[in-house]
Each structure stands twice: as structure tokens, then as C-alpha cells.
């Protein structure tokens, strides 16, 4: 089976096993739908990303992008694996603190920060608050004065670098909503050079998520280094860190997938080692620094990465149960077999917004031939809640291949569902948010989020 990963996703007695634990048993025990995460896989992904630090030979900080998945049990597992954290709101910052991260392990992005969020960041002396605009920098300055503290700030740049990912995941174009122009950044450093309240210590950019082409990181480094150099030439300031964001791809698509759209296929099948992408790009920066006689700018510098997807996506599996089935004639005189599951876009929003492909297999007959086509759909009272591309644009396959004779009651598994899934979930249609299980390093499954109850559906209603 092309989805198998030794020691992680395997089959036993026909059933899918996750870290050796029977997935069908888990769905029975904890209810369906169910997210199952592997701590071993999270740690393996973090180790793989840490190889970037070895490849560049300068200061290195790995920060998990909490927005990908921020259930406390996952944040604690990330922290235990010696990884720092990137947050995007006061809420995520609060959760990071609650999970046990200290201020020096936290950096804070986001475009529309409120005063209380900035205060919380400054009070906890976090590693850096990313200023998205000059206005936001003035808010940080104001808050630091009020609190009598010095805020560490890095400047988010918008470098006009395109990536071949989905347009909603592009974040470094002038047309995107993020960051400030390089001119504004130079002005800011000059203005705050001697400030007792604002310590501008870094520059930051994030090109986008699921970047299929590693060469975008060369352009990103060029931009970051050009900024370091110009800031130094114009203000005499050397910065302490550069932050390259996240964006390393996860292989969602198997070679035998039926996704018709070529660009979508290339994006979702992308795979490369982060260290292989960043190592040579960093060498190019070193050469540029030498050529500019500015190698001192790289002395003592720290490179920050803040990946989310590449840490958590393939560590999470969504187990779902078929709840309904029917047949319907097709235009060409054939018949479609429909299966309706209990997992829909309320828990896998990207499937609707970005037509994201999650591989679907049978967890009960994992080693049976998957050669029978089904129209698959979720449970929501919403015509867009389907596992295919309702617009007919070919970004998702029209049919999913599963073993013959799938009936209501069969447990299926959607793979690579760990990122941007539960984190974006809603109770649309008053559906219970699912439970989450983490299989620990000892191979024991632990419930880290209970399934919603009726009470949760009205808990904030007055
Ligand atoms: C600023 C920033 N950093 C990091 C990330 C994480 O990206 P990814 O999950 O693709 O690694 C994102 C997500 O888009 C982001 O906006």
C-alpha cells in the first residue's frame, strides 16, 4: 500500500494501525469522527526540521506554527520535543503559556493585534512581536511605554515573491494582506534605533504554505539579506534574527491519485527535505555577504523557521464512519455509489475552501484492493460538503477508490489530516466537535480532547 509508513501507518489483520494501535478499535472506543495523532511522528518531523540548523551552521530556532493545530496536548508534545512556538493571536499566546512555553520561546505574528494582545506579549517578554505595519509598531511602542518595558520587535516584510501554491496560501505578494514595504522597514529601524521601549531585532517573511518549489527560499533569503545590509548601511544597526516563516510541503497525493488538475497535483504531491532547500540557499547568502564585505552581519545571527504543516499534518489521521449509502444513475447509463460519512467540511474546512485532497482509505479493510469508485460526501446540510470538486474544475477527483461493497458502519480513514483541520473546525449544523487522541511515545492512546456534548453546543449562548 503506497500510504504505508513503517512503524507508523501499517496494517494488522486487515485493519489500519497507527503506531501499532488498531484504528478501528480507537474509533469504537472514542467515537467517530476522531482525530488520532502520533507523538512519535511529531517528534520525527521536528527532528527532520532541526537538520536545517545543522545545514546552516549558525544560530537556529525552530518554532511550531500553532495555528496549524493548537489543542493543548499537541502543544505540550511539541514543547517536549524541544521546539519553540509561533502564535497569531492573544488566544494562541495564552494557550502557548498554558501549555508551558515561556516568553523567550514564543514569537507572535498576526495582522490586527488588539492592545490587550500586545500587552500580554510584552508582559511575558516574548522573543519577538512581528509588526505588520508602521501603525502596529506605534501601538507596540505605546504599550511598552505604558508597561515600562522594552518590546522585542521584528518587522514583517512583503517581498513580492510568488509561490506555486494555492492563491489563498500566498502571503508574500504585494496583493496579499501581510507585512510592510522594505522602505517602511528601513524608516522604522532608523526611527527606533535608540528607543528604550522598542528593540527592533529581526526581519520576517513567510512566502506561503505548501510551497512546491524549494527555490522560493533562495529569493526569500536574498530579500532578507538585502534588508539586513540596507538597514546596516543606512542606520548602522545589525539585527539579531531573520525569520523565514514556514511553508514546507507535505505529500498529500499518492502517485495513483485521480486528481485531474495538473497544477493542483504538483502542489499536493510536492516533497523535498527542508535541510536540502535551506542549506544551499543559506550558502548563497554567505556568498552574497562575502561579496558585499558584510560577513559580520551574519555573525551571531539566528535563523528562525516557523513551520506548522510539516510538523503536524502527516502526524494526524481523521477516522470517520460511513453513515449512509445510496445509488444513483449517471448520465452515461451507469450508476454512482454514494457514501456519506460523519466527517465533513466542518472539521476539514480546506477540503471546501482550497479543494484540499486528503487520501481516503478503508481502516477496516486497509489491505484490500481499493479499486471501486464511490462518490463521497460529508454529513452537513450544505451541497458543498462533498469530497469532490462540485464546480467540476478537476481540483479533486470525482470519485474515491475504496474496496468493493462499502456499507454504512464501515470505518474509513482520511490521511494527513493533522494540520489546519480541527484548528479551523466549527460547530456548523450544531455538529459536535470530535475527540482527539494522542498516541504517546509509549504507544498508549490518550484522550487529549473530549468530544463535544450538548452543553458545548450552547455553552456561550445567553
Ligand atoms: C507567518 C506564518 N508563519 C508560519 C506559517 C506556517 O506555515 P506552514 O504551516 O505552511 O508551515 C504560516 C501559515 O501560513 C504563517 O502565516
- All structural domains of the chain, each given as residue ranges with its CATH number in brackets, are 9-38+316-458 (2.40.37.10), 39-312 (3.20.20.10)
pTM of the model: 0.96
Torsion of CA 387, 391, 393, 399, to 10 degrees: 30
pLDDT of residue 401: 95
Comparing CA positions, the residue from 96, 198, 85 lying closest to residue 141 is: 198
256 pLDDT more than 90: no
CA of 306 to the centre of ligand 1 (A): 7
Of 343 and 171, more confident: 343
The answer to whether residue 417 is catalytic is no
Confidence of residue 158 (pLDDT cuts 50, 70, 90): confident
Q: What is the best residue among 306, 356, 419 to mutate for testing ligand 1's pocket, by most ligand atoms within 8 Å of CB?
A: 306
pLDDT of residue 169: 65
12 pLDDT more than 80: yes
Comparing CA positions, the residue from 49, 112, 45 lying closest to residue 74 is: 45
309 lines ligand 1 (CB under 6 A): yes
Backbone phi, then psi, for 150, in 5-degree steps? -110, 120
- In 330-409, the DSSP E strands lie at 335-341, 360-362, 372-377, 400-402
Q: How many C-beta atoms surround the C-beta of residue 5 within 10 A?
A: 14
pLDDT of residue 168: 65
CA of 68 to the centre of ligand 1 (A): 8
Ligand 1 atom nearest residue 248's Cα: 11
360 pLDDT more than 60: yes
In the chain, what percentage of residues exceed pLDDT 70? Answer: 96
Mean pLDDT for 145-159 is: 93
Structure-block grid coordinates of residue 394: 478537476
166 lines ligand 1 (CB under 6 A): no
69 lines ligand 1 (CB under 6 A): no
CA of 1 to the centre of ligand 1 (A): 31
The H-or-E segment that residue 263 falls in is helix 262-269
194 pLDDT more than 70: yes
Ligand 1 atom nearest residue 420's Cα: 9
Cβ contacts of 167 within 8 Å, gap of 6 or more: none
pLDDT of residue 239: 93
Taking the C-alpha atoms of residue 59 and residue 325, their distance in angstroms, rounded to an integer, is 55
160 pLDDT more than 70: no
Comparing CA positions, the residue from 399, 410, 413 lying closest to residue 322 is: 410
68 lines ligand 1 (CB under 6 A): yes
pLDDT of residue 42: 98
Confidence of residue 174 (pLDDT cuts 50, 70, 90): low
Taking the C-alpha atoms of residue 425 and residue 403, their distance in angstroms, rounded to an integer, is 29
Amino acid at each position: 500500500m503506497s500510504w504505508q509508513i513503517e512503524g507508523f501507518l501499517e496494517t494488522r489483520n486487515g485493519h489500519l494501525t497507527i503506531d501499532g494501535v488498531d484504528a478501528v478499535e480507537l474509533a469504537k472506543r472514542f467515537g467517530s469522527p476522531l482525530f488520532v495523532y502520533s507523538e512519535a511522528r511529531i517528534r520525527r518531523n521536528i527532528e527532520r526540521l532541526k537538520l536545517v540548523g545543522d545545514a546552516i551552521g549558525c544560530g537556529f530556532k525552530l518554532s511550531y506554527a500553532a495555528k496549524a493545530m493548537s489543542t493543548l496536548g499537541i502543544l505540550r508534545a511539541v514543547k517536549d520535543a524541544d521546539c519553540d512556538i509561533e502564535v497569531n493571536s492573544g488566544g494562541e499566546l495564552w494557550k502557548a503559556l498554558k501549555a508551558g512555553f515561556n516568553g523567550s520561546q514564543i514569537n507572535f505574528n498576526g495582522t490586527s493585534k488588539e492592545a490587550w494582545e500586545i500587552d500580554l506579549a510584552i508582559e511575558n517578554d516574548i522573543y519577538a512581536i512581528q509588526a505588520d505595519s508602521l501603525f502596529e509598531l506605534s501601538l507596540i511602542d505605546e504599550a511598552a511605554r505604558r508597561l515600562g518595558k522594552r518590546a522585542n520587535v521584528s518587522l514583517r516584510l512583503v517581498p513580492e515573491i510568488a509561490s506555486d501554491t494555492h492563491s489563498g496560501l500566498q502571503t508574500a505578494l504585494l496583493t496579499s494582506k501581510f507585512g510592510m514595504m522594505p522602505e517602511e522597514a528601513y524608516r522604522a529601524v532608523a526611527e527606533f534605533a535608540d528607543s528604550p521601549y522598542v528593540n527592533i531585532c529581526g526581519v520576517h517573511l513567510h512566502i506561503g504554505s505548501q510551497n512546491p518549489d524549494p527555490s522560493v527560499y533562495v529569493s526569500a533569503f536574498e530579500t532578507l539579506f538585502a534588508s539586513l545590509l540596507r538597514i546596516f548601511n543606512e542606520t548602522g544597526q545589525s539585527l539579531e534574527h531573520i525569520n523565514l516563516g514556514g511553508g514546507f510541503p507535505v505529500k498529500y497525493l499518492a502517485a495513483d491519485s485521480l486528481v485531474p488538475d495538473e497544477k493542483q497535483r504538483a502542489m499536493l504531491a510536492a516533497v523535498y527535505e527542508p535541510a536540502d532547500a535551506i542549506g544551499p540557499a543559506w550558502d548563497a547568502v554567505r556568498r552574497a555577504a562575502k561579496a558585499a564585505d558584510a560577513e559580520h552581519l551574519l555573525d551571531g545571527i539566528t535563523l528562525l523557521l516557523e513551520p506548522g504543516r510539516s510538523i503536524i499534518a502527516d502526524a494526524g489521521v481523521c477516522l470517520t464512519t460511513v453513515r449512509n449509502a445510496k445509488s444513483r444513475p449517471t448520465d452515461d447509463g451507469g450508476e454512482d455509489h454514494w457514501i456519506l460519512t460523519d466527517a465533513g467540511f466542518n472539521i476539514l474546512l480546506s477540503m471546501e475552501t482550497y479543494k484540499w485532497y486528503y487520501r481516503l482509505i478503508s481502516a477496516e479493510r486497509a489491505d484490500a484492493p481499493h479499486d471501486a469508485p464511490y462518490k463521497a460526501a460529508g454529513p452537513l446540510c450544505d451541497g458543498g460538503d462533498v469530497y469532490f470538486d462540485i464546480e467540476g474544475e478537476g481540483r479533486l477527483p470525482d470519485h474515491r477508490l475504496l474496496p468493493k461493497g462499502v456499507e454504512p458502519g464501515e470505518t474509513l480513514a482520511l490521511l494527513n489530516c493533522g494540520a489546519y483541520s480541527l484548528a479551523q473546525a466549527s460547530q456548523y449544523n450544531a455538529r459536535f466537535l470530535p475527540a482527539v487522541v494522542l498516541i504517546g511515545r509509549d504507544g498508549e492512546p490518550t484522550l487529549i480532547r473530549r468530544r463535544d456534548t450538548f452543553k458545548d453546543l450552547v455553552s456561550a449562548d445567553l
